[in-house]
Chains A and B, each alone.
Chain A
Amino acid sequence: KNEVEQSPQNLTAQEGEFITINCSYSVGISALHWLQQHPGGGIVSLFMLSSGKKKHGRLIATINIQEKHSSLHITASHPRDSAVYICAPEMEYGNKLVFGAGTILRVKS
């Protein structure tokens, strides 16, 4: 079993839809990162959180440490949101990230 499980693996949405990507992990963590990988390959850090909820524009990330679960929400999705979204828990010991396989999101206009 992978240390990090993301769902869904693939997601196609219509423009304007509310999107949720889930991440479950089995390791002890100090924080969790959400990354976005553009179709061109570049990677951008969206959020780093250790508790509760963070919001940036149309993106919201939540984490429940006790349940070892995090979600990334996109409100009013847009075709430019099409990308791979990667969950990356930061291990409690060892100062490193473990990566989920990513969720491929396609938003159609």
Chain B
Amino acid sequence: DTAVSQTPKYLVTQMGNDKSIKCEQNLGHDTMYWYKQDSKKFLKIMFSYNNKELIINETVPNRFSPKSPDKAHLNLHINSLELGDSAVYFCASSLQGLSSYNSPLHFGNGTRLTVT
């Protein structure tokens, strides 16, 4: 049983399209995250939700919209895709917010998005 699963694993699409990446965790965690890893392998936080409420929203274009229907799911919808959106997107979860000493992160396997 995969703890944090995200789909699809690979996503190839053309500029201007709208796409979604889904993430689900079966760990009973309260907090979920989306991270972006660029071509230089730098990871950066995009969004964080705690029990379906948005708690972190970094400087991310409005074309990116997270949606959390329940605390086990955090999906990422991207409108009007651009070449610069090509990256690997990682979903993650933790038992509580990161301020807790006992909340290590659990990552999904990543979604490699290629915009052509």
Contacts and interface: CB of A to CB of B under 8 A. Distances in A.
A35 B33 CA distance: 16
Interface residues of A, number: 23
A92 to B, nearest CB: 9
A99 B33 CA distance: 14
Given A43-B90, A90-B98, A95 B56 contact: yes
Interface stretch (B18-26, B63-71, B78-86, B104-112): B104-112
Interface stretch (A18-26, A44-52, A65-73): A44-52
A101 B41 contact: yes
B45 A33 contact: no
A33 B104 contact: yes
B90 A30 contact: no
Interface in A1-57: 30-31, 33, 35, 37, 41-45, 48, 50
B109 A41 contact: yes
A94 B48 CA distance: 11
A22 to B, nearest CB: 18
A42 B88 CA distance: 11
Interface string B39-72: 0111111001000000110100000000000000
Contacts of A99: 42-44
Contact of A95 (B48, B90, B109): B48
B11 to A, nearest CB: 14
Interface of B: 40-45, 48, 55-56, 58, 88, 90, 92, 97-99, 101, 103-107, 109-110, 112
20 contacts: A30-B99, A35-B105, A41-B109, A41-B112, A43-B90, A43-B92, A43-B110, A45-B104, A48-B101, A86-B43, A88-B43, A90-B99, A95-B48, A95-B55, A96-B45, A96-B56, A96-B98, A99-B44, A101-B41, A102-B41
